[in-house]
Structure 1
Amino acid sequence: MNHQEFAQVWVDAWNSHDLEDILSHYSEDIEITTPMIALATGGKESSLQGKASIRKYWQKALDKFPDLHFELIHTTAGVNSVALFYKSIMDKHAIEVMFFNEEGKINKMYAHYDE
């Protein structure tokens, strides 16, 4: 699957609100860093590690934003990585840089949002 196909599959998973489908793209040891975590935790942290922790965080996010919808704008490929530019929640633009392990699962992700 090329980076454009992956990006569309990833966006479609989020737009389906199917948490298991979303999590299927990530490794068990996934580490995410995003300003949205700081918003959700009152500024206490900005990174989470491990699928179990991320599952809880994303379930809360899906519950809080039942109309969550991502709109893919552009995607670029790197070495074992991809960057997605998309329209996110609250009309924010986001760029997520995702790094893949040997099995093709995302094991590290950094998200960036406009203010």
Structure 2
Amino acid sequence: MGMDLDEAHRFADEWAADWNSHDLDRITRHYAPHVIFTSPLAARIVEDSNGVIRGLDALRTYWAEGLRRNPQLHFEILGVYTGIDTIVIHFQHQTGQLSAEVLTFHNNKIITGTATHGPAEELYVKEQEEEEQR
């Protein structure tokens, strides 16, 4: 049936620590070999992917490039939510951008992941300030 909320929080803390280490072995250890991961950033970084990365080797390649482009990458967990064999990790990037990943598990490995992104906080604040001036 999946993780309870305490287990999901423990996983999310580990997930963030793995990303913040910038160590691809640590980052990818929770993913199944046949994982399918979707991300609007992948659509921009991986030519002809349409944002869909298939398999752990391709995912490692994509994330290696992402880490190369973002040497200051750091995630802070804002919220964790559970579903059936699924958790959602709501987090903030070092830039202030808000994001969430939807991760579905089978046999304790992630089989699908979906990255979603909101506006960067500074863009959001600027838009709010502009709204107030109107």
Please tell me the TM-score bracket, short chain as reference: over 0.9
Q: Quick check: 1:108 aligned with 2:130?
A: no
| Bigger Cα displacement from structure 2, 41-50 vs 56-65 | 41-50
Aligned counterparts of 1:89 and 1:42: Cα–Cα separation in 2: 26
Aligned counterparts of 2:91 and 2:12: Cα–Cα separation in 1: 10
Corresponding residue of 1:72: 77
Aligned counterparts of 1:21 and 1:44: Cα–Cα separation in 2: 24
| Bigger Cα displacement from structure 2, 50-59 vs 33-42 | 33-42
Q: 1:51 to 1:36 in 2, by over 3 A?
A: same
Corresponding residue of 2:98: 93
CA distances 1:42-61 after superposition (whole Å, capped 9, x unpaired): 67511101001011110111
* Contact 2:16/2:77 (<8 A) preserved: yes
Aligned counterparts of 2:43 and 2:104: Cα–Cα separation in 1: 22
Structure number with greater Rg is: 2
* Contact 2:30/2:109 (<8 A) preserved: yes
Q: Quick check: 1:57 aligned with 2:62?
A: yes
Aligned counterparts of 2:22 and 2:37: Cα–Cα separation in 1: 19
Identical-pair percentage = 28
Q: Which runs of 5+ in 1 are unaligned?
A: none
The total of aligned residue pairs comes to 114
Q: How far has the Cα of 1:69 moved from its partner?
A: 0.1
Q: 1:42 to 1:56 in 2, by over 3 A?
A: closer
Q: Which runs of 5+ in 2 are unaligned?
A: 1-5, 120-134
Q: TM-score, normalised to structure 2's length?
A: 0.80
Q: TM-score, normalised to structure 1's length?
A: 0.92
